[in-house]
Structure 1
Amino acid sequence: MISEGGSFMRGMLIGGGFCLVVTLLGHIKLGHEATTPHEHHHIQAPNKEDVLKLTDAERMELSQSMRVYCIILVRPKDLSLWAAVRTTWSKHCDQADYYSSENVKVFDSISVDSSDTWTMMRKAIQMSYENHKHEYNWFFIAQPSTFAIIENLKFFLLKKNPSEPFYIGHTVKDGELDYVDVAGGIVLSIGSVNRLISVMSEPDKCPETGGIIWKVSGDKQLAMCLKYKGVVAENAEDSEGKNVFNTKSVGTLIKEAMASDPQKVVEGCCSDMAITFSGQSPNHMQVMMYGVYRLRAYGRSFNDAMVFLPPPNSDND
């Protein structure tokens, strides 16, 4: 995927394809479940075996209750990425809308009339809440260079109560502040959005714009606002402690794994339960779609714990 020697490209593509195809298996053990107030900053997916113990009716009800609204923040310079996201993974969201810094005639989008990252994010969340608070219980914020596997996201959130204030992704520490890096995607439960909307009316705690003296990134400002309401950033991991929200591309992760331990590229690269990868080009997204949704090994049968059906207009898997 990265312009390197032919042998490296071949190895990386094979490794990346294998790593990504197995993401749908969901072999994750039970970790700490978040409760209110949140005391744990590392959370894991439900145990597959526990999910299999549920009746078919219970699993169907759970599957249908998972409603993810995708907020994709875009700018006119992102047109090629924007187009790729529209034709690939975003079709697996229950609904995906594009919030643009300005009006763009080429694609349908919702203009927020600002290129400031925090203002864009803030307005997008406010508009989403006003229009969809009764339809969706999870809100996923992503940049156009992010590739997301929505089915894995739904499985990860399966046993988590969206009424509780969840704020999940790839966490980063900056001084005393823990925040979710938007490069890997940000997940907010309806419970956390309820709290966020309430604090947005208090400009001393949650200003409409970033810092006056120095700029604060949108993802950090979001964390600061949520912190006032007792909502803390929680890092999503698998049973081995691997991140499932990735702020790097598959190619970069494979390259790092090869340098670290060439004998364990797949084990060192990515989680089987990976939800996002960042830094993707439009072509890389198409390759990811092939590896995740289209490639099949005939003769192999998988007993997945859950089945999440994509929306009717998802014609690419």
Structure 2
Amino acid sequence: MSAAQLSLFQRKTSISRRQLTFLTGITVACLFTVVSLLQQKRNDLPEPYRSGFADDHQPTVSLTDSVRILCWVMTSPANHDTRAIHVKQTWGSRCNKLLIMSSAEDEKLGTVVLKVTEGRRSLWNKTRESFRYVYENHLNEYDWFLKADDDTYVIVENLRYFLYSYSSEYPIYFGSKFRFPQYVSQGYFSGGAGYVLSREALKRFIEQALDKAENCSVVLETEDLEMGKCMESINVTAGDSRDHLGRKRFLPLEPKFHLTSNPVDDPDFWYNYYSFYEPFYGLKCCSDLAISFHYVQGPQMHVMDFLIYGLHPYGLVYKNPPLPPKKSWDEAKAVAGPYPARSTTVRTTSSSESSTAVDVTEKNENGVSENASEALNFSESATEAEFVSKSSSFADTDGMNLDDFANRIVNDKILMQKIMEKLQSQQNAA
């Protein structure tokens, strides 16, 4: 090869290398752009405790910012280390604001100290004072205000998704609806499953009901029932939170009960007719966008957290539904009535040796027995009937022995009055 040919070949080779470098740069830039776009898609739901949604048809919406939820949890000093701390470490951290309401200071929990006494008879007063504190300190900072117990487990992302349709300026609240038409015609919400108030509902509760005896009793003790009565008296709607298949989002008992119980095994179980809407059991018990469960003990909350947020079945991808459309006030307050409950017999205990039966035969216009509703209306933070029926015997109820449980019944004046009336009725019949 001549010197001229060699020089030409070298020049051609040099040009080819420049072209190759240019093409390589273009390729890397394109790959970087693609990776960045894919990463951006994933980062629509980036942080573990921020929720949002994006698809091809609508812009990204940060539900964490557009549906601001203050959660307050009712606890007591005895439950700080066994229950409340687990709420703070799990689902409570996903609320926009978490308040732990107690009667004692706890720096680790950051409790809000209320000037209230502890005990079952103080639950209603504690609820009132908690909402008063929230109103006075946080009303305009958040849109919705969730009350929960220290054994309630909440999927906060699903709560935000559900509430997205509703304006916080609507006088409405949501939860797991029970019926007691003699006292609250629109139903009331189980305290144990948690219930959530709009900003307007909280304003009305404090400004129109809290310190007005004609609208809101300060004497009676059943927290959830009294809350329902107060809200009805000031025209706050008890909304319908079920999904499009009629499945509940707020569940008043533990997941195991809802998923594994068979109503055929116990057709007289109180939940079958205390529930405002027809309860479902088994795998169809609950909405796949369920919001809350009750009776989830402290360590179990971490199990729930892992199963919901940590465990991913390989090869399966969950596709989020689109955000629901906004509801008008007329749509929001259009609430379905109760399902017809049949006549049955209610067993007030599950002990075969000491079971007391209340015969349910007379039904009111809403399909609920007058006797059954009155005889079983006593509550912890949901209903006392939940507390009794969830155990296989008295002695198995959270370590409570028969004497303790008997003392609790004797100290409940309303319940004792009903028991005495029933005994007197039986004696007269004999």
Given the superposition, is the C-alpha separation of residues 138 and 258 from structure 1 closer, same or farther in structure 2, using an over 3 Å criterion?
A: same
Asked if structure 2 preserves the Cα contact closer than 8 Å seen for 1:146 and 1:280, the reply is yes
Post-superposition Cα deviations, 1:5-64, rounded to whole Å, max 9, x if no partner, equal xxxxxxxxxxxxxxxxxxxxxxxxxxxxxxxxxxxxxxxxxxx9xx968621xx426652
Distance 2:322 2:237 in 1: 29
Flag the 1:94–1:63 CA change in 2: closer, same or farther, 3 A.
closer
Larger radius of gyration: 2
Shift of 1:136: 0.2
Distance 1:210 1:234, change over 3 A: farther
**Structure 1: which 5+ runs fail to align?**
1-47, 308-317
Q: Which residue of 2 aligns with 1:280?
A: 296
> Of 218, 221, 238, which residue of structure 1 is paired with 2:226?
221
Partners of 1:280 and 1:233 in 2: CA distance: 25
Match of 1:163 in 2: 169
1:248 is displaced (CA, Å) by 0.7
How has the CA–CA distance of structure 1 residues 266 and 223 changed in structure 2, closer, same or farther, with 3 Å as cutoff? closer
Q: How far apart, in 2, do the equivalents of 1:172 and 1:53 lie?
A: 40
Residue identity opposite 1:169 in structure 2:
G
CA contact (8 A) 1:169 1:184 kept: yes
- Give the number of aligned pairs: 248
Q: Does the CA contact (< 8 Å) of 1:142 and 1:183 recur in 2? A: yes
Cα distance in 2 for partners of 1:105, 1:96 equals 14
Answer yes or no: is the 8 Å Cα contact 2:215–2:234 preserved in 1: no
> TM-score, length-normalised on structure 1?
0.72
Corresponding residue for residue 134 of structure 1:
140
Contact 2:260 2:282 in 1 (8 A): no
Q: 1:95 aligns with which of 75, 94, 97?
A: 97
In 2, the alpha carbon distance for the partners of 1:61 and 1:269 equals 29
Structure 1 residue 72 corresponds to structure 2 residue 73 = yes
| Correspondence 1:271 to 2:271 | no
SS at match of 2:147: strand
**Which amino acid letter does the alignment assign opposite residue 159 of structure 1?**
S
Q: Look up the match of 1:242.
A: 247
> What's the offset of the Cα at 1:84?
1.0
Query: For the residues of structure 2 that align with 1:54 and 1:64, how far apart are their CA atoms?
Result: 20
Q: Identify if the C-alpha distance between structure 1 residues 232 and 265 changes in structure 2 by more than 3 Å, giving closer, same or farther.
A: closer
Question: Contact 1:243–1:274 at 8 Å: present in 2 too?
Answer: yes
Q: State the partner residue of 2:353.
A: none
Q: Distance in 2 between matches of 1:302 and 1:277?
A: 22
1:55 alignment partner AA: Q
Structure 2 Cα separation of the partners of residues 301 and 106 of structure 1: 38
Query: What are the superposed Cα offsets for residues 68-121 of structure 1, whole Å, 9 maximum, x if unpaired?
Result: 000101111222111111111101101101011333455320111222111111
Q: 1:306 to 1:63 in 2, by over 3 A?
A: farther
1:311 counterpart residue number: none
Aligned ranges for residues 188-267 of structure 1 at < 5 Å?
188-199=197-208, 200-207=210-217, 209-211=218-220, 216-257=221-262, 267=283
Q: Which runs of 5+ in 2 are unaligned?
A: 1-52, 266-279, 324-430
Instruction: Please name the residue that 1:146 is paired with.
Output: 152
Contact 2:249 2:289 in 1 (8 A): yes
